[in-house]
Amino acid sequence: MSVRAFGSPARYIQGPDALSELGALVRLHGQRPFVVADTIVMDLLGARLEAELVEAETVTFATFGGECTAAEIDKLAAAARAAGADVVIGVGGGKAIDTAKGVRIALRTPLVIVPTIASNDSPTSRLVVVYTADHVLSEVRLMDANPDAVLVDTSIIVQAPARFFVAGIGDALSKKFEVEQCAAAGGLNFFKGRPTSLAVTIADACYRAIRADGEAAVAAVAHKTADDGVERVVEATILLSGLAFESGGLSIAHSLTRGFSTVPEVARALHGEQVALGLLVQLLAEGREADFMADMLAFYARLNLPRALEDFGVETEAVVEGIVSVSWDTAPYIRNFVQPLSKERLADAFRTLAGLRRAE
Ligand SMILES: [Zn+2]
């Protein structure tokens, strides 16, 4: 019997104007912060970040090139070393955050994560998803510990296009179903342990929060308003979603992102949009009832989440075999699944979705 394991960031702070906590938070960990952010984030927040970090000895701002590649991580790690950085701060979306995590692995310094969009489950975890320069997923690296702090300023989160917020919901929706499959199948989480019951409970709470508040929160974000519902959904899409997958484990929905990353039209979509479609495939492979699927598909439609490969601009029949085959061969957690599973069953699920989409 394997051990049970659970991990999390040491601290999580979320709310309107939470960025004003950054200076004090960073001072707990170092005096010479190295900030990884892309040019868009620097244009929006550079002056504010400088002001928040004014009490640091020195602050180095590194421009992130846009893709989390091994070369980008090496380049920024060298710059951080040259600057004598003693704490790394990753500011931005998933790829900037993952690059900051890569720098943290190289330097072994503390790490503070400041997501500016709520589009995925990356901020709280130890995972670094590394891509090739052509945007094909190449490897997943692991930090030896979770981020020291994750700071989520919801006044910034609601300024981003609503598409990012919806993608975060897509990424979070899958957790209940993936964690349940992983736990029931005796699969391991990202700490190489069995999921604790806490992780299963978190995944369930994540799903319930999104179903209860998701639609209203998307409407509020469209008006750039952070109300209580938005706060509950951001907690679900960043904190609960991250804790759930890392300590609860994954299954088919995330496994399919391996295959998706080989189809350019789908690879260009946001991670959460890919996971959302992957979840529908998983639910069909689970043999869910028609009523359950209809309810889920209607929820997807109201949020404008993808419901078939055609929503990414590709024909299911043209790409389905390749997607299933790459996922089957390369995703380590595709077998965290209790029902009988085969490549044919997965491909059939994609075809069923395409048919349902045509009939809408
Ligand atoms: Zn994810």
Render pLDDT for 187-245 as a digit per residue (tens, 0 to 9).
999 999 999 999 999 999 999 999 999 999 999 999 999 999 999 999 999 999 999 99
Please compute the mean of the pLDDT values over residues 101-117 and round it to a whole number.
97
Task: Report how far ligand 1's centroid is from the alpha carbon of 195 (Å).
Answer: 17
How confident is the model over 136-165, as pLDDT tens digits?
778 999 999 999 999 999 999 999 999 999
Which of 97-101, 133-137, 234-238 is least confident?
133-137
Task: Report how far ligand 1's centroid is from the alpha carbon of 40 (Å).
Answer: 23
Q: How confident is the model at residue 134 (pLDDT cuts 50, 70, 90)?
A: confident
pLDDT of residue 1: 58
Task: Report how far ligand 1's centroid is from the alpha carbon of 273 (Å).
Answer: 10
pLDDT of residue 47: 96
For the chain, what percent of residues have pLDDT higher than 70? 100
How confident is the model over 1-46, as pLDDT tens digits?
589 999 999 999 999 999 999 999 999 999 999 999 989 999 999 9
Task: Report how far ligand 1's centroid is from the alpha carbon of 53 (Å).
Answer: 31
Find the Cα–Cα–Cα–Cα dihedral 298, 299, 304, 307, rounded to 10°: -60
Task: Report how far ligand 1's centroid is from the alpha carbon of 250 (Å).
Answer: 9
pLDDT of residue 137: 79
Task: Report how far ligand 1's centroid is from the alpha carbon of 254 (Å).
Answer: 6
pLDDT of residue 222: 95
- Domain at 251-360: CATH architecture: Up-down Bundle (1.20)
Residue 191's nearest CA partner among 247, 234, 143 is: 247
Residue 317's nearest CA partner among 347, 281, 275, 287 is: 347
For strands 194-195 and 137-142, give the pairing.
unpaired
Please compute the mean of the pLDDT values over residues 239-259 and round it to a whole number.
97
Three-class DSSP labels, the chain: CCCEECCCCCCEEEECCHHHHHHHHHHCCCCCEEEEECHHHHHHHHHHHHHHCCCCCCCEEEECCCCCCHHHHHHHHHHHHHCCCCEEEEEECHHHHHHHHHHHHHHCCCEEEEECCCCCCCCCCCEEEEECCCCCEEEEEECCCCCCEEEEEHHHHCCCCHHHHHHHHHHHHCHHHHHHHHHHCCCCCCCCCEECHHHHHHHHHHHHHHHHHHHHHHHHHHCCCCCHHHHHHHHHHHHHHHHHHHHHCCCHHHHHHHHHCCCHHHHCCCHHHHHHHHHHHHHHHCCCCHHHHHHHHHHHHHHCCCCCHHHHCCCHHHHHHHHHHHHHHHCCCCCCCCCCCCHHHHHHHHHHHHHHHHCC
Task: Report how far ligand 1's centroid is from the alpha carbon of 173 (Å).
Answer: 10
Domain boundaries, the chain: 4-157, 251-360
Please compute the mean of the pLDDT values over residues 274-300 and round it to a whole number.
97
Task: Report how far ligand 1's centroid is from the alpha carbon of 278 (Å).
Answer: 11
Identical topology for domains 4-157 and 251-360: no
Which one is predicted more confidently, 10 or 261? 10
Task: Report how far ligand 1's centroid is from the alpha carbon of 125 (Å).
Answer: 10
pLDDT of residue 136: 78
CATH fold of the domain at 4-157: Rossmann fold (3.40.50)
For the chain, what percent of residues have pLDDT higher than 90? 94
Task: Report how far ligand 1's centroid is from the alpha carbon of 244 (Å).
Answer: 10
Task: Report how far ligand 1's centroid is from the alpha carbon of 30 (Å).
Answer: 30
pLDDT of residue 135: 79
Task: Report how far ligand 1's centroid is from the alpha carbon of 32 (Å).
Answer: 31
Task: Report how far ligand 1's centroid is from the alpha carbon of 124 (Å).
Answer: 11
Task: Report how far ligand 1's centroid is from the alpha carbon of 27 (Å).
Answer: 30
Task: Report how far ligand 1's centroid is from the alpha carbon of 128 (Å).
Answer: 12
Is the pLDDT assigned to residue 88 strictly greater than 70?
A: yes
Task: Report how far ligand 1's centroid is from the alpha carbon of 275 (Å).
Answer: 7
Please compute the mean of the pLDDT values over residues 308-337 and round it to a whole number.
96
Mean pLDDT over the full length of the chain: 96
Task: Report how far ligand 1's centroid is from the alpha carbon of 106 (Å).
Answer: 24
Please compute the mean of the pLDDT values over residues 73-88 and round it to a whole number.
98
pLDDT of residue 360: 87
Task: Report how far ligand 1's centroid is from the alpha carbon of 356 (Å).
Answer: 25
